Structure formats: structure tokens, C-alpha cells
Structure 1
């Protein structure tokens, strides 16, 4: 009797990056997929179920309205980037009312002490994460304040690549903030709840990004691709290499984000 083959694991959705090369592209919707076409080349089909977030760079991509609506219907955020690579804006699907976390955050925002309450939660959660990160790396710094730990971790690396690692950290924080906004929409939460609670405060989105950034410190030191990556960080090719490193870790960081959302929800139930 032949053994039954185990089912194949589903392919996780991935970000789709379009534009940036100067070639005009058109994105349309057809039969449950995004279809990308350009003059003189075969069409490329991307099933909507395989797309996590659509990134459009530069002004050479035409996104048809039916394709944009299809993304919003499926919970897919669309990020628009300028010619220099910086984000100009994004579309995020509106949240579905009635979810407990969304209701709790809405109530939190109505309180005058919302910002210090969230800051207290972040401080406790970040200290826990810092300790876990340092134990994983095998070193406990003398001062556990976040900025001091970041500086201490940087000083453990060879001097020639420290500036490049700072650049990689900033790129990750920017990328992760977009990922959190995307995940927020996929969870059916109102994107307005990610905005700052007060002037100068990062809000829930910035808090989650800071927490996941500590795991990035581990990835920096353990990724096989890290050392050649650090050596080529200044080149244009390296931008795409960084994105590949980020994408490889994306399912793991999404699980961490979901865990922190659950922890935030549990904490809100206790303080509100």
C-alpha cells in the first residue's frame, strides 16, 4: 500500500513591487488576479490571494480603478512611492466594526490619559523584548534603556559596517510600519486607530514597530545574507537585497505582530 503524500503547505502571500525601472506598466483586474502588462512583453498574472501588499514606485505605473477596488475588497493595502523611493501615501481597507480590539482602542483614545497609558504598556513590553533579544544574542548590556541598548549592540559590530547597519535599521522600521498597516487592514481594524494619540506620540503603529525591531537585531546577526548585505548596503542593488531579506522574515514578523496585538488586547481589557 502506497503511503499517502502529506498535503503541501500553502504558499504565504507576498508583497508585490512594481515600477522603479522606468518601463510603463498597467495593472488591471481579471478573473481574481492582478494582471500586469507592458508594451512588448507577455502579461504577468498575480492571483489576489497570493498578494499581501501592492507597492507602486514612481509615476510609470497605471493602476486601473477595478484593480484598486479588488485590492481593497481582499484586504490588500496599496502603497504609493515617489521617484526617490519614499512613500507618498497608501490605501488601507476600512475596518469592520464590532471587533473587541478595535472597540477597546477606540475607548482608550477617548480617555485623556490615553497616551501615558499606552507609553506605560510599551515600556513594559519593550523591556521584556530587550531582555529576550539580549539573551538570544548571549549578551546582557549594563543599561537596559532602549536607546542605550541599541547603541551598545551597534558597538559590538565591526566599525566599518556600523553606519550601514544604522541605515538598515531605518529601512526596516520604515518597511515594518507599512507591514503593520497592511496587517491592520487584514484584521479588519479601522486604520484611523493607528494614528498618534497626541502630537509627538507615535501611536499603536509606532509601538508595534518598535517591538518587532528588536527581533530584527537578531536577524541582522544571524541571517546568512547579512555580511555580504552589509558590505553592499550603499549600492542600488542592495535596496532589493534588503527587501528580499525582509520578505523572507515576513511570516515570522507577522506572527510576532499578531502576538503583540493579542497582548495589547488582553492588557486593554484589564485597564479599561
Structure 2
């Protein structure tokens, strides 16, 4: 079975790309790394199962893994993925799933619609016309200010005072800023730590805590580390429901930790999860986790 690993600007992710290709090769799949911008999108009356890559006609893949995390919102990527969908290519993940998880505000709306038992931090869409008093009354301080489509902890700030919020919003809305802004209730009991649940093929692959001593954000790319965490069954069940609602064939769901250790708040969903935990599992000889991770492709591509 032949597939494409769809990449864009993957500087700094070469290790992950090589690992994923090697993993699929072990499972008997041919996975070729293709820059998504080298794929032409053409609609015609002919359907010969061919596409153009770098100007040359090649056979359309049977499946494709979307790894172009930094450019997910460009129209070119949307057009390529939609072309593949109409040609019957199995996508990990679909454009619909990528859009739903990428929009932090909409993902919370969908989560509460489909899995109402999941708690979320109170969240508000902020525009240049939003009164500061309304933000103060609805969200309060401290609060977390986020850009809508940020990733790896980028574009996230802890705002402690009204003056600080006013200053940063004045800068944002006076500039040619190209993203939307949301304000969220700050779950301070979770400062510097969160829980990640990795899901694949409708099952939980792994759960762990990300921890960053002395920092507000826990992301690995922000200097965080991993710790073992045994998730309660309620959190596992909720994560499986969320993955199904968002049609996440492979992804991760992050949770903030409440005042009680068994209280969790949805933080965000990711359609392009990292695999740092797999490298750690290899270092520690965790064969059970490695086997579980290796089993998900065959369940999706059966």
C-alpha cells in the first residue's frame, strides 16, 4: 500500500519524519515524503488516478498523512486535501478534522455540543470593539490570551491585570495582525503542566503529563518534559468520544488540571500530534507502548 507523508516547512522535525517513514516501512507500507506545495490541484472530466507532483504525472496515493503542521490553514493545503478526498484517498487527517481542531473557539463549541460532560475554561472571542469591562466581567483576571490558530504553545500569554490586557490589545489591533484572538479563564492550578491523551483509530494509545518547572506553558517545544500519568477511565472515555466527534483518526487531546486532581478542563485538540513520547518509550524499552503505537495504521488502513 502506497502513501504520501505530506510535509511543508518541516525544519526541526526531520527526526520525526524519518521515524514515521521507517515505522510504516516496517509495517509493509511505502510512505514517501512529499512537499504539499509540489502537488498541483487539477479538476477535469478525466479520472485516470493520476496527479501531478513537481509537474510530473504519478499515481495517486492510497493514503496520505498530513504532517504540514505549520501551514495547515493555507488554501493550497485545503485544495490538495479536498482533491485527495474526492479521489478516494484515506487521509490522516481530513481537512474537516484539521479545520475543526485548528479553530480553538469552534472546537470548544463542538466539544460542548457532542461531549457536554467535558469541562472547558470559559472562553470569549475578542475583537477591537470588545469592551474591556465585558472581558473583565466575563473572564476576569488572570486570563489567558491566545491567537486562534497557534501551535506548540506559541501565541499564548498569561495576562494578570487590566492594564496589561489593554496594552497588548492596543498593540494587536493597531497592527496588521492576521489572526483572531480569544480570552480564556486561566486555570492556575494547571500552571506549567497539562495532560495529553493520544488517540488513534478510535482508541487511546498513550496518556502522559507534560511538565515545565517555573513556567506557565507546559509544551515540550517550550522546554517541558514528560511524566508518566495514568488517566482515569472518565478522561479516557471522554477523549474517545471527542476523537469520534472530530473524526480524528490520529491526534491528541490536551487537558488542564483543576483544583482537584480528578478535575480536568479541555485545553485543545491536535490533528498533527508530536511523537516525543515514542522516542522516550524507545529509550526506556517500553515495548508495550511501541506495539500499541505501531498497531494504529493497520486499523485505519484496513
Larger fraction in helix: 1
Q: Please, what TM-score do these two structures have when normalized by structure 2?
A: 0.24
Q: Please, what TM-score do these two structures have when normalized by structure 1?
A: 0.26
